[in-house]
Amino acid sequence: MTPYVVLSAILFAVGAVGLLVRRDPLVMIMSIEIMWNAANLLIVAAARFYGTVSGQALVFLVITLAAADVAIGLAIVMHVARRGEAVDVDALKELKG
Amino acid sequence: MALLAAPLVMALVLAWIRLPRSVVVGLANAAVAIAFIGALLLRHGDTVVGTWLLSVPIGFQVDTISQTFALVTTGVGLLIHAYSAAYMAHDRDLSRYFAGLNFFIAAMLLLVLADGPVLLLIGWAGVGFASYLLIGFWYERPAAVAAARKAFLINTAGDVSLMLAIALMVTSTGQTTYSGIFAGHVPAVAVAWLLFFAAAAKSAQIPLHTWLPDAMEGPTPVSALIHAATMVTAGVYLLLRFHPVLAAAPSAAEGIAILGGASCLLAGLMAIAQRDIKRVLAFSTMSQVGYMFMAAAVGLGAAALSHVVTHAFFKALLFMGAGVVMHALGGDERDLYKMGGLRQKLPATSAAMGVAALAISGFPLMSGYFSKDAILESLLANGHPWLWALGVVTAGLTALYIFRMYFLAFWGKPRTQPSHGESWLSFRWPMAVLALLAIVGGVFVRPFAWFSLTSGATLVLGLAGFIIAYRLYALRGPVGDAWLDGEVGSLLRSEFGFDAIYQALIVRPGAAIAALIAAGDPAATGGLATGISRSAAAFAEWLRGWQSGLVRTYALTILVGAVLALLWVAVR
């Protein structure tokens, strides 16, 4: 069990750091994917460890959600790119209060 | 209940629908005529119509008292409507005027026909509101607006008193009809005094009379309506209706009768010193209602009721005559000193006013002779010699002030030439009917001894008043008022200082408190309100700084938040 937990933690940290330090939205989406999958890994490992299938069912749900997340994220990125603006999240701050 | 519905519906119609002037007059008169016929056809008994909110049964009750009041209200009211058609013919707000008049009649009918105090209170407040509308009818005149406000405020004080009385009666007996309340046990002394203050406000009795003379700012037919047919007699009705309560509290009843006697005498004195023809009549009403209060308070209902009826006849006639005089002198001349010698130009009016003056001063065989002496005689017979003495003295004063007015206006040399005469027919026929009633109205009075100590005393004092008035004013005119220049005269002219006292005791402190509140309010209430709104705005300003638009900051914030939440869970 322990190696899976460690690997999952490392993957999650990689994803989080990537999300925070990169300004390219494509890379940020990929970082989020890594975090999703870190969580998935932990869930299936736990399901296996406890001998239940509910964790595997939950992972399927997470995978579909992650797909939806990527679809919407990529659509936004495409639109930003088509408007001819720099694809840089720090430049995209019109929605500030 | 057609008699109630007709004027009420017509008031609403006239208030909201614009109709040709002749139609307005016709409809308004027809509504009151229907009400009058309805009042004639009333059968004695109770009708319960339904249940009102809070399960108060609403219904109507007809007995001698309420039918008499209904007949006076609609009968004299009809004559006043007919007279108004001519008097107000050139007013631009004819429809509003007649709407107010009809509403007044409807409210008064509701008041007298109700079978319990709750419905009575609605009519009572309606009468007060109608008087406010009509006294302030000429709303461009500041004096009229001020008079209307004064009348309304004093009447509202009375309304509160009546509400308290009703609350006491209803809570102590659990009943909401007259018969139920009178069968139960009520705190009679408190209720009697509360009822008196309500009645005094409506009927302009001391100490709540000061609105009545000011109410002369309203159109003259309105004054006639208020004084003869509706408003001021409502207080008498209240005392008559709640007579069982008064009978259960003899000391309160005695006190009320004394205050009524005081109104009777003091108003008679105040009337002597007035220059305004309508103010003379206003104080005269107050004085005559004082008679009714004396009798009603000590349980002499029949005598009080008969004076209500005859007073309605001659007082309406006096006001109509005053209206013709004002009209003839160019619209709104009310100063007796500027009148004089009008009997040549206005012979019919002069005759009618003479009849009314004789009737009110109790000339033998006129209506006032019977009803006033009925009151005085029963007062004496029931052991109230002091009230009797007050009434007899006032009878002399009555002759003095009413003939002072009559001689100043109609005798002597003309001091203003009338611009036109008494040409209109509709001025005349209501006055002719009322003059006839003022003469023979005594037939409505319960028969009593034709001659007695009382009638002898009132006759002697009345003759004395008449002779003094004749000697002072018939030939000399306003010069006759020279005797009023002394201290006594100035006391009378200041109307015993009631207005000044109320000004000092109530109006000025009230205004001072209001000014204080007006000054303190922006700091206190305003400060609180603006403080709350400012702090909310500041909080929002601080909060919006968090929304930077930078996605990575949001991500970091979420991460830190998640870590902190996890740490908290772990530590706990």
Tell me the per-residue pLDDT of B439-451, one tens digit each, with 9 for 90 and over: 887 776 655 556 6
pLDDT of residue A85: 73
User: Does any domain span residue A92?
Assistant: no
Dihedral sign, Cα of residue B31, residue B35, residue B38, residue B40: negative
Closest CA to B225 of B391, B100, B117, B395: B100
User: Does any domain span residue A87?
Assistant: no
User: Does any domain span residue A54?
Assistant: yes
Angle at B164 between CA B149 and CA B239, to 5 degrees: 80
Instruction: Dump pLDDT digits (tens) for B382-436.
Output: 888 888 888 888 988 899 889 988 888 888 787 777 776 666 555 678 888 888 8
B413: left (phi over 0), alpha (psi -120 to 50) or beta: beta
Residue among A20, A90, A96 whose CB faces B547 most closely: A96
Task: Chain A: give the shortest CA distance to residue B144, in Å.
Answer: 59
Structure tokens at B131: 């008087």
pLDDT of residue B185: 81
**What 3-state DSSP class applies to B56?**
strand
Closest residue of B to A89, CA-based?
B551
- CATH number of the domain at A32, please: 1.10.287.3510
Contact A20 B545 (CB under 8 A): no
pTM metric for this prediction: 0.77
pLDDT of residue B21: 81
| Residue A72 confidence (pLDDT) above 90 | yes
Mean pLDDT of chain A: 89
pLDDT of residue A4: 92
Q: At which residue do the structure tokens 């009058």 appear?
A: B36
Which residues of chain B, if any, have pLDDT below 50?
none
Task: Chain A: give the shortest CA distance to residue B556, in Å.
Answer: 7
User: Does any domain span residue A7?
Assistant: yes
User: Does any domain span residue A63?
Assistant: yes
Closest CA to B468 of B376, B460, B490: B460
pLDDT of residue B41: 84
Closest residue of B to A16, CA-based?
B559
Residue among B543, B549, B552 whose CB faces A94 most closely: B549
**What 3-state DSSP class applies to A21?**
helix
Closest CA to B463 of B398, B377, B542, B531: B398
- The terminus-to-terminus CA distance of chain A in angstroms comes to 45
User: Does any domain span residue A88?
Assistant: no
Tell which of B551, B556, B559 to mutate to test the A interface (max A CBs under 10 Å): B551
pLDDT of residue A34: 93
B246, B260 Cβ separation under 8 angstroms? no
User: Does any domain span residue A40?
Assistant: yes
Task: Chain B: give the shortest CA distance to residue A97, in Å.
Answer: 5
SS (H, E, C) B94-159: HHHHHHHHHHHHHHHHHHHHECCHHHHHHHHHHHHHHHHHHHCCCCCCHHHHHHHHHHHHHHHHHH
B62: left (phi over 0), alpha (psi -120 to 50) or beta: beta
Q: Within chain B, how many helices (H) and strands (E) appear?
A: 26, 2
pLDDT of residue A97: 67
- Model confidence at A65, pLDDT cuts 50, 70, 90, reads very high
Angle at B24 between CA B20 and CA B27, to 5 degrees: 130
Q: Is B556 on the interface with A (CB under 8 A)?
A: yes
Q: Which amino acid is at B441?
A: G
- The terminus-to-terminus CA distance of chain B in angstroms comes to 80
Q: Which amino acid is at B492?
A: L
Q: If contacts are CB pairs under 8 Å, which of residues 3-62 in chain A contact chain B?
A: 16, 19-20, 23, 28
Closest CA to B402 of B497, B314, B335: B314
Q: Angle between the B347-360 and B367-381 helix axes, to the nearest 10 degrees?
A: 10
Contact B549 A92 (CB under 8 A): yes
Q: Using CA atoms, how far apart are residues B189 and B252, in angstroms rounded to an integer?
A: 6
Residue among A19, A90, A96 whose CB faces B555 most closely: A19
**What 3-state DSSP class applies to B540?**
helix
Closest CA to B127 of B225, B210, B218: B225
Q: Is B548 on the interface with A (CB under 8 A)?
A: yes
Q: Using CA atoms, how far apart are residues B412 and B478, in angstroms rounded to an integer?
A: 10
Exposed/middle/buried for residue A54 (C-beta within 10 Å: 0-12, 13-18, 19+): exposed
| Cα A14 to the center of its chain, rounded Å | 11
Q: Is B558 on the interface with A (CB under 8 A)?
A: no
Structure tokens at B290: 């004082």
**What 3-state DSSP class applies to B51?**
strand
Number of domains forming the structure of chain A:
1
pLDDT of residue B273: 85
Number of Cβ atoms within 10 Å of the Cβ of B470: 16
Q: Angle between the B277-297 and B301-328 helix axes, to the nearest 10 degrees?
A: 170
pLDDT of residue B547: 83
Q: Angle between the B301-328 and B367-381 helix axes, to the nearest 10 degrees?
A: 150
Q: Using CA atoms, how far apart are residues B522 and B108, in angstroms rounded to an integer?
A: 44
Containing domain of residue A28, as a range?
A: 2-82
Task: Chain B: give the shortest CA distance to residue A13, in Å.
Answer: 11
pLDDT of residue B494: 78
Tell which of B542, B552, B556, B560 to mutate to test the A interface (max A CBs under 10 Å): B552
Contact B549 A95 (CB under 8 A): yes
Q: Mean pLDDT throughout A58-72?
A: 92
User: Does any domain span residue A96?
Assistant: no
